[in-house]
């Protein structure tokens, strides 16, 4: 046989689309060509595969070798195609049975000795394999290709009774084994895997068991009990966690802004199974990577203020996810917000509103999820001491105003809670040894109860409500509506700001177990949007 077909997957957008590796051996002058939009890493597979096959004792065919990576319009990157290319050459030259490659998927980078190196994207690839297997097993006979033999699966499709099989480097198999609905096999080198595929009785590989995460030390999450004072900020973070609202903390150096932000993930509800799979797949396919210890841990991303727009929202060619996507279902913390380039901050407008971001390039368009919770921190002026009673601030009114103008109105409009954080007094600092704040676990229980009310009522967080839904579920009582109308006229709010105050008030009511926002809850929500008016 001079043609072999091997199935693999590409690390694109965290979805891991299927890639078919077709290997053809023909007569003619010896050559080795790879087609199908490969990048430099994939083109270099020729030398790695050649050396690996020879060093493992296999015969490298002295023929015209053509490798096609289909679909041809999908960019291919990374060294994960080394293994399927090598297996395709061995199957096409008759050194391993071609039927052993059916209904199986392979990925892995080869060393020159034939050992399989760890690879990124193993978890994302397992998710794609499981989805593909579920879709095929859920189909009926009407979807089979024309000419298929009755009672047999269509060409390239998996029999319904089979569980999809995925073969990876042994060092990457543990994270992929966390995905249900797929059997993951780990191999240390090419000869071991080939012996397994050939059916050698003493070389059978067993599916890798999912790691026992109960034995893994829990991640250390900063506790809110460590925060000194700042009762108002603690309450605001509880409201933000309950409704998924974005937060901006404004205060002098040392007030505890970064400390408070680091404790927000500990207040959020535990991840559901679908959320955990989605977050892990994104991290796995990115250059950040994923480990089993991160399972069900909400991400917390804190990029430096020198980050570019591509680093923050995504970019490159082919498109890669940015920090806002890596923080999906978690927290994105932007410290020293005005120090970010204004053009970079403006790219956050659409994804903060929509929860998704689309990166378009000439050859490819990628759609990334970005449903993260933004928490930002900033000083009130360049020196940081504006409003200090000790008179330490030396910034003029114009300098302070120019500093605040680095943040555009449309961006601030999308941040639900804007809170001024006062400096700690000497009395509060001296009482730190005898005063203990409420622990994160106690706050998280109230947050989970409020979130449960939202999911039962509307199936989403309050922050995600659209205009019509806000009118239906966030309408306050008569006194609250009158207060909100008066505040909107006094502060000149936009329609977006008006509705965001209603959403925050609805969250405060959910924390209190109230059927509708009252005037007191509307007043609290109004206070969370007055920070810039006092600067």
Please, what are the averages of pLDDT over each run of 10 residues along the chain (535 residues)? Answer: 90 80 94 93 94 96 95 88 96 93 94 94 90 65 34 46 88 90 94 92 88 66 86 93 94 90 93 89 83 86 93 83 92 94 92 88 79 93 82 86 88 92 80 75 95 94 90 90 91 89 95 92 90 57
**Distance (Å, whole) CA 71 – CA 48:** 23
* DSSP H/E element including 9: strand 3-9
**Distance (Å, whole) CA 36 – CA 76:** 8
In what order do the strands lie in the sheet containing 3-9? 31-35, 64-70, 18-26, 3-9, 104-106, 165-169, 183-187
The residue whose two tokens read 């759609």 is 367
Peptide bond into 71 cis (omega under 30): yes
**Distance (Å, whole) CA 330 – CA 324:** 9
The separation between the first and the last C-alpha atoms of the chain, rounded to the nearest angstrom, is 77
**Distance (Å, whole) CA 414 – CA 435:** 36
pLDDT of residue 314: 87
**Distance (Å, whole) CA 169 – CA 337:** 42
Tokens representing residue 316 in the block: 């490159």
CB 21 within 8 A of CB 6: yes
pLDDT of residue 150: 33
Nearest CA to 238 among 475, 508, 51? 508
Q: Calculate ∠ Cα 305-120-316, nearest 5°.
A: 45
Nearest CA to 10 among 36, 44, 48? 36
**Phi/psi of residue 282, nearest 5 degrees:** -65, -45
Query: Is residue 360 helix, strand or coil?
Result: strand
Q: Which residues pair with 105 in a beta bridge?
A: 7, 166
Tokens representing residue 436 in the block: 């203990």
Indicate the pairing of strand 331-334 with strand 373-378.
parallel
**Distance (Å, whole) CA 240 – CA 219:** 22
Question: Over 175-219, what HEC string results?
Answer: HHCCCCCCEEEEECEHHHHHHHHCCCHHHCCCCCCCCCHHHCCCC
**Phi/psi of residue 3, nearest 5 degrees:** -135, 135
What's this model's pTM, rounded to 2 decimal places?
Answer: 0.84
pLDDT of residue 215: 57
Q: Which residues pair with 24 in a beta bridge?
A: 3, 66
> Could you tell me the CA-to-CA distances from 49 to 32, 89, 187, 399 in Å, in that order?
10, 9, 16, 62
Q: Please report how the helices 190-197 and 82-92 are oriented relative to each other, as an axis angle in degrees rounded to 10.
A: 50
pLDDT of residue 149: 31
Tokens representing residue 340 in the block: 């970010």
**Distance (Å, whole) CA 402 – CA 386:** 13
pLDDT of residue 367: 85
Tokens representing residue 228 in the block: 């000194």
CB atoms within 10 A of CB 140: 7
Domains within the chain, CATH numbers bracketed: 3-136+159-203 (3.30.230.10), 224-464 (3.40.50.300)
pLDDT of residue 317: 73
Q: Calculate ∠ Cα 472-473-476, nearest 5°.
A: 100
């Amino acid at each position: 046989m001079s043609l072999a077909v091997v199935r693999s997957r590409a690390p694109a957008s965290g979805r891991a689309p299927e890639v078919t590796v077709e290997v053809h051996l023909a007569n003619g002058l010896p050559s080795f060509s790879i087609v199908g939009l490969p990048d430099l890493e994939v083109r270099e597979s020729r030398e790695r595969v050649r050396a690996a096959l020879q060093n493992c004792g296999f015969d490298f065919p002295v023929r015209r070798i053509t490798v096609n990576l289909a679909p041809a319009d999908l960019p291919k990157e990374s060294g994960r195609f080394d293994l399927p290319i090598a297996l395709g050459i061995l199957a096409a030259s008759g050194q391993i049975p071609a039927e052993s490659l059916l209904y199986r998927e392979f990925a892995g980078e080869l060393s020159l000795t034939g050992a399989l190196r760890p690879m990124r994207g193993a978890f994302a690839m397992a998710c794609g394999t499981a989805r593909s297997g579920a879709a095929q097993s859920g189909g009926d006979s009407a979807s089979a290709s024309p000419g298929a033999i009755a009672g047999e699966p269509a060409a390239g499709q998996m029999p319904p009774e089979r569980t999809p099989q995925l073969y990876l480097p042994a060092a990457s198999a543990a994270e992929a084994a966390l995905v249900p609905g797929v059997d993951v096999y780990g191999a240390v080198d090419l000869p071991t895997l080939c012996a397994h595929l050939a059916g050698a009785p003493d070389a059978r590989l067993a599916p890798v068991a999912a790691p026992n995460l109960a034995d893994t030390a829990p991640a250390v999450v900063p506790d809110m009990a460590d925060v000194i004072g700042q009762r108002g900020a603690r309450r605001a973070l509880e409201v933000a966690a309950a409704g998924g609202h974005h937060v901006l903390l404004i205060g002098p150096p040392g007030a505890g802004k970064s400390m408070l932000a680091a404790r927000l993930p500990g207040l959020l509800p535990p991840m559901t199974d679908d959320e955990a799979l989605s977050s892990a797949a994104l991290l796995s396919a990115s250059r950040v990577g994923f480990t089993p210890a991160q399972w069900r841990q909400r991400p917390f991303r804190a990029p430096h203020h020198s980050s570019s727009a591509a680093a923050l929202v995504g970019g490159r060619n082919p498109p890669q996810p940015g920090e806002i996507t890596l923080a999906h279902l978690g927290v994105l913390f932007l410290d020293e917000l005005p120090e970010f380039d204004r053009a970079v901050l403006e790219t956050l407008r659409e994804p903060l509103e929509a929860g998704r971001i689309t990166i378009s390039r000439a050859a490819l368009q990628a759609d990334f999820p970005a449903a993260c919770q933004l928490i930002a921190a900033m000083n009130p002026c360049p020196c940081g001491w504006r409003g200090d009673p000790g008179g330490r601030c030396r910034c003029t009114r114009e300098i302070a105003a120019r500093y605040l103008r680095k943040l555009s109105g449309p961006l601030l409009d999308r941040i639900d809670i804007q809170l001024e954080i006062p400096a700690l007094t000497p009395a509060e600092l001296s009482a730190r040894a005898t005063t203990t704040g409420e622990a994160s676990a106690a706050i998280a229980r109230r947050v989970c109860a409020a979130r449960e009310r939202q999911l039962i009522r509307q199936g989403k967080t309050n922050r995600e409500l659209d205009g019509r839904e806000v009118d239906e579920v966030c309408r306050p009582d008569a006194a609250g509506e009158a207060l909100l109308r008066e505040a909107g006229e006094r502060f000149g709010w936009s329609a977006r700001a008006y509705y965001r105050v209603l959403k925050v008030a609805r969250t405060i009511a959910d924390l209190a177990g109230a059927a509708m926002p009252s005037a007191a809850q509307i007043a609290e929500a109004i206070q969370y949007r007055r920070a810039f008016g006092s600067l």
